[in-house]
Structure formats: C-alpha cells, structure tokens
Amino acid sequence: MANLFDFNTETDYVGKVVYVDTTKLSLDVKPKELKLARVGRLVAVKISSAVEEWAIAIVERVIKNPSTEQLKTIVQPNEDEEASPVSADSILERVSNIVTIAIVATFKGKKGTETNYFSRSIQEIPDIDAESFSIESENLENFMGLLSAKSKSDVSLDLGKYSLSEKARAQLNGDKFFQRHAAILGSTGSGKSWTVASVLEKASELPSTKLIVFDLHGEYKPLSFAKQLRIAGPDDLEKDDDNVLFLPYWLLNSEEMQAMFIDRSEFTAHNQVTIFQKLVGEEKIKHLTENDKKDVLSSFTIDSPVPYNLNAVIEEITRLNSEMVQGKTSSKQGPYFGKFSRLITRLELKTTDKRYGFLFQHPTALDKYEAFSKIVKQLVEFNGSEKGIKVIDFSEVPSDVLPIIIGLVARVLYNIQFWTEQDERHPLALVCDEAHLYLPKRGENNPNERRALENFEKIAKEGRKYGVSLVVVSQRPSDVSETILSQCNNIMSLRLSNKQDQNTVKSFMTDNLTVFADILPTLDVGETIILGDAVLLPSRIMLDKPKKENRPLSGTIDFWSEWNEKDKKTNYDKAVENYRKQSRK
C-alpha cells in the first residue's frame, strides 16, 4: 500500500524542529516557506524514518524574525533547573522565523501485517532537527479521507464537511457522542438550533431512536419527523388530546412541593414543612389503602409518585390555622393558629390559577393509581409511525416554576430508566435546549432552580450506567452549571463572541488544543469546532443544514427588510387576548 503522505520537499517543506516541549514544538522556518505556516492549518512532523510515522500538529503561532524577548516566551526552562538545555540566544543565532505548533495526534503507517495506527495520544515526540511538512492539497484529502474512513461504521454520525477539505465527510462516533453526554454551544445567530435539528434529523433515520427534546420557545414545532407534545395551557384544560401533557401535582416530590409553596425565610417555615409533609403522606397512604396496594405500602415514602387529594390537605391546613382548643377555663388558640395564613394564600392562588392548570386542574382520570403509567407512556412510548423523537413544548409554562417542571420531567424519565429491567432498558437521550435558563451556574440560591440542578446533576453523573444521556444546548455556556458541563465529554462549539463563554469552552481543552479556542469568534454560521471522545481528531467542521421542512423557528428577523415592506398589518386585538389567556392558540 502507498504511503498516506507524499510530500514534495520543494513545495510542502516547512522547517526543522528547534525546540521540543511535551505537546508543543517550535520550528525554524525560512522566509520562502513561511507562507505554508498558516495559523489553524495542519502540519506533519517526522518521528521515524524506518516507517511512516508522523506527529500531526496544528499551527498555533507564527513569529517573523523573532527577537530574544519573543523567543523567551517560547523557551521557558523550569525555575529549579540550573541551566536551560536550550537557550533563547543560541536558537536566535540559527533561526529565521519561529512557528509554534501543537501536537494533536500520531499517525503510523502500515508495516507488514500491521494496520494504519492513528491515535490522539502523544506516545513519541519528534527529535530536534526533525523535518515538518504542510498537509495541503492531495495530502490533506488523503488524511481527511482516512479520518472519515476510520470513523465510518454502523455507529457513525455524518455531520457535514471538514472546513480544511470539503471533499471529506466529517463522521462522529454516534455511540461515544451520546454515551457520556454532549454540549452544543454557540452565540445567538451562530446556527445552534439548526445544528440541533440536523443531529435530530439524522437520528430520526435510525430504526429505534429514543430522544426527547425540551423545547422552551416552540422552536422545534416544524420538525416533521418528531412527535409534538405540549404542556397543557389554559385553553387545554378541558381537552382530551394525546398531544397535550398534564403533569399532576402528585408527581412532585416533597422538595419540589416545598420549593413551590413554602417560603424558607418565614419564621414558621419549619412548621409548614412538617405539617405539609405529614398530611401529604397520610393522603397518599389513604389512596394506597383504598386501592389495596399493600406491596407498595411496605416500601412507601413521602416521595412515592402516588395520587392524593390536595384539596383535603388544604382543608386540614386551613382548619389547623384557625383551630381553637379548650383551655382550663375557656377556649384558646391552637398550636398552629395563624401560622399557616401565607401558606394557605399561596396554595389557593396557585391551585386556582389556570397557568398552573397542567399541575392542579388536570383531568380527574389522572388521579387514579394507573395514571402514572399512562403519563410515562405518553412521554417515552413510540408507535410504529413515529420516528423515536418527541419534542415537549414548555413555552407556556410560567417562568417561576419552569425549572421545577423541567426537572420533574427529567427526574421521572431517569427513574423509569433506573427501574426498568436491564435486558429491557433502551437508551434515552434528553436534549436540554436553552439550558442556561434552568441549569444556571449559581442556581443554588434559588430553590426552584436548585431542584432542577439536583435532578440533572444526578443524570450527568450517573445516567450513563442506566442509558440516559444529556445533550446540553446553550448560547451562554458561562452561565450553565459547571458540574453538568464538566460531565460532557463531547463539545460542539459554534461561534462564541463573548470572552467569558470562550473561556468556559477553553477550560475543557487540554493545553495542546487551546488554539481552537482562539478560532471560536471567527467561525462562520453553521461552522463548529468539535472536541471529545466522538472524534478521532479535534476538527473544524461545516455542518449540514437540516432539510427545509425541518428547520427550527429560530431564524433571525431581517429588521430592515421587514421595515421596507408596505402595508404590514398586525392584529393587536388578538395579541392582547393571547396575552390575557396566556396562550397563542
């Protein structure tokens, strides 16, 4: 078999190695070869002459005719060393220009019965005076073709074209992309939603995909291959529609109920928690007893997803709040007299507010013991005509409870996977769009956000064992929980213009890959840097656009063009009524 690279010493030669570090090299490049050393391009450095063995590196920095001070920033001996093995002055005597390159992979060609060996680990470093060559033209096509061929298999996820060579398709390992979580990051207008839609579109072509998208703004309604669900809004409370999702209050665990109703800053908060939990527990036990569920009773906890009568709980709290007890000579105020007034007000306001109808005004059929199975199947079960992807529209959920509700759905899905028999467990991925809104870095100060963070952090840390994966999508990675992002072993970063966001992505890169962070603000729309387990080599990729009928409703509005249209009419009466009803339907 012919060698992978066929370098021409006249047209491809860059220079010789003059400085060696653990992951970085410095090259002496003559003026006529300097045009080949472009930042961001690939370079091959010879490791061995006996076989075709190369260090694959990316150009990080170019310094023309460096001064002594510039060289000292490259050659930095350890402080405890008596003398540097290579001094800046000695290098300056024999160099023309300095090019710094970062090693990102190793390639070893076939020898005898061996196969091509390509590894992201750096097992051997080139020697001083080793020759380097720019990977261009046919050599670049051969190399990118090798990456595609090695990635292509039954588990390959074809995302687009390599920016360096459009003739080669960029393939990811689909297993590794989802196994240990992924993050899709990018500023507004960078093509982030299109990227999500494109990944979903390709996943929908598999025979038994299982993906659930948390859609906060209704962006993914156009996806023709997805089953659309929406959290019930005020106009849906009387409907019996399989596309409308109710989440009865009894699905909330005790911590979520407390976050929704109890103000921890109140002096009587501890009494409210104690009585509320006691009454809810009694009502759940009553329901289990009436339905003759003795096996469930034996392992019952306050967090068990068992229906109960919330009105009965409110009535008893109201009675305790106004209770008078008999004293020695006359009646006196009971032990909880007046201590639950604010709690009762909050309970009454939320249980009667139609915006929270999906929780408190659900159909009576969902108060039966069997209702939990129906809700779970609505979330995760697919029939033959569906392609394994469901989009849950949370756009009409009030913002104050949004983190709790999304966290509730995630917790239910994780627990169902956890308790499914291992031989029947089918992997499930959760796409968390706009994650910074409900998984914030500083969410510990907000009890609603803290509940969501706890649920998602558990999935991030333990979900892999039970076939639950997260795909975190955000335009502000610097605002997303570090705990969750740190568990994402694959990063797809589109253009990021904010320095804090760039630094967040950079913090997940090893020292030899930080050159990619410098490219982030210069990426084109739909172009991404991909790092992680799913790719053989950290790569810059131009992503495929989803089909026209599957493009999300996230396109940037053309202000000047819209303003240039004549007789543009808006029905403000309808907008006012939608505002009042909290529904666009």
Place of tokens 């292509």: 152
CA distance 492 to 2: 34
Per-residue pLDDT at 9 exceeds 80: yes
Task: With cut-offs at 50, 70 and 90, classify the pLDDT of residue 234.
Answer: confident
Looking at residues 203-223, what average pLDDT do you find?
92
Residue with tokens 């026209």: 548
∠ Cα 309 311 314 (to 5°): 120
Q: What angle do CA 30, 34, 35 make, to 5 degrees?
A: 150
Among 3-12, 348-357, 550-559, the minimum mean pLDDT is found in: 550-559
State what percent of residues in the chain have pLDDT above 70.
90
How confident is the model at residue 95, as a pLDDT? 65
Euclidean distance between CA atoms 333 and 300, whole angstroms: 34
Higher pLDDT, 578 or 486: 486
Residue 556 has pLDDT above 80, yes or no: no
At 329 the pLDDT is 82
Query: Over 90: is that where the pLDDT of 242 sits?
Result: no
Confidence of residue 571 (pLDDT cuts 50, 70, 90): confident
Give the pLDDT of residue 273. Answer: 92
- What's the confidence (pLDDT) of residue 94? 61
**Residue 433 parent element (H or E):** none
Tens digits of residue pLDDT in 392-437: 999 989 999 999 999 999 999 999 999 999 888 899 999 999 999 9
Summarize the confidence of residues 315-338 as an average pLDDT: 90
**What pLDDT does 436 receive?**
93
CA atoms within 13 A on the CB side of 129: 1
For residue 443, the model assigns a pLDDT of 67
**0.75 surpassed by pTM:** yes
From CA 10, how far away is CA 267, in angstroms rounded?
82
Mean pLDDT of 319-348: 90
Does pLDDT of 348 surpass 60? yes
Please give the backbone phi and psi of residue 145, each rounded to the nearest 5 degrees, phi first: -65, -35
Instruction: Retrieve residue 404's tokens.
Output: 């709790």
The answer on pLDDT for 33 being more than 80 is: yes
Query: Can you name the residues that pair with 119 across neighbouring β-strands?
Result: 106
Looking at the chain, the whole-number percentage of residues with pLDDT higher than 90 is 47
The whole-number pLDDT of residue 229 equals 94
Query: Each residue of 126-170: pLDDT tens digit?
Result: 999 999 999 988 888 888 877 777 666 667 888 888 888 877 788
Q: What is the pLDDT of residue 496?
A: 93
Query: Is the confidence at residue 83, as pLDDT, over 80?
Result: no
With a cut of 60, say whether residue 111 has pLDDT above it.
no
Cα–Cα distance for residue pair 299/318, rounded to 1 Å: 30
Distinct helix (H) and strand (E) counts, the chain? 19, 21
Largest CA distance in the chain: 111
Closest CA to 429 of 155, 182, 216: 182
Confidence category of residue 51, pLDDT binned at 50, 70, 90: confident
Residue 456 pLDDT grade (very low, low, confident, very high; cuts 50, 70, 90): very high
Candidate from 62-76, 119-133, 244-258, 311-325 with smallest mean pLDDT: 62-76
- Inter-CA distances, 423 with 377, 417, 430, 466, Å: 19, 11, 21, 11
State the average pLDDT for the chain.
86
Answer for the pair 232, 244: CB distance below 8 angstroms, yes or no: yes
**112, pLDDT greater than 60:** no
The answer to whether the beta carbons of residues 496 and 502 sit under 8 Å apart is yes
pLDDT of residue 140: 86
- CB atoms inside a 10 Å sphere around CB 188: 12
C-alpha distance from residue 316 to each of 278, 282, 285, 322 (Å): 11, 12, 16, 10
Helix or strand (DSSP H, E) at 326: strand 324-326
Distance CA 324, CA 320 (A): 9
Helix segments in 310-390, DSSP class H: 310-321, 341-352, 357-360, 371-380
pLDDT at 449 over 90: no
Asked if residue 175 has pLDDT above 70, the reply is: yes
Q: Span 307-333, mean pLDDT?
A: 91
Q: Flag the least confident range among 84-98, 192-206, 308-322, 513-527.
A: 84-98
Domains and CATH numbers, the chain: 13-135 (no CATH), 174-248+363-490+541-556 (3.40.50.300), 255-348 (no CATH)
Asked if residue 181 lies in contact with residue 400, where contact means CB atoms within 8 angstroms, the answer is no
Asked if 373 and 421 count as a contact pair (C-beta separation under 8 A), the reply is no
Average pLDDT over residues 510-537: 86
Which string of DSSP letters, residue by residue, matches 62-122? EEES--HHHHHTT----TT-SS-SS-HHHHHTT-SEEEEEEEEEEEE---TTPPPEEESS-
Beta carbons of 229 and 390 less than 8 angstroms apart: yes
pLDDT confidence bin for 82, thresholds 50/70/90: low
Residue type at position 195: T
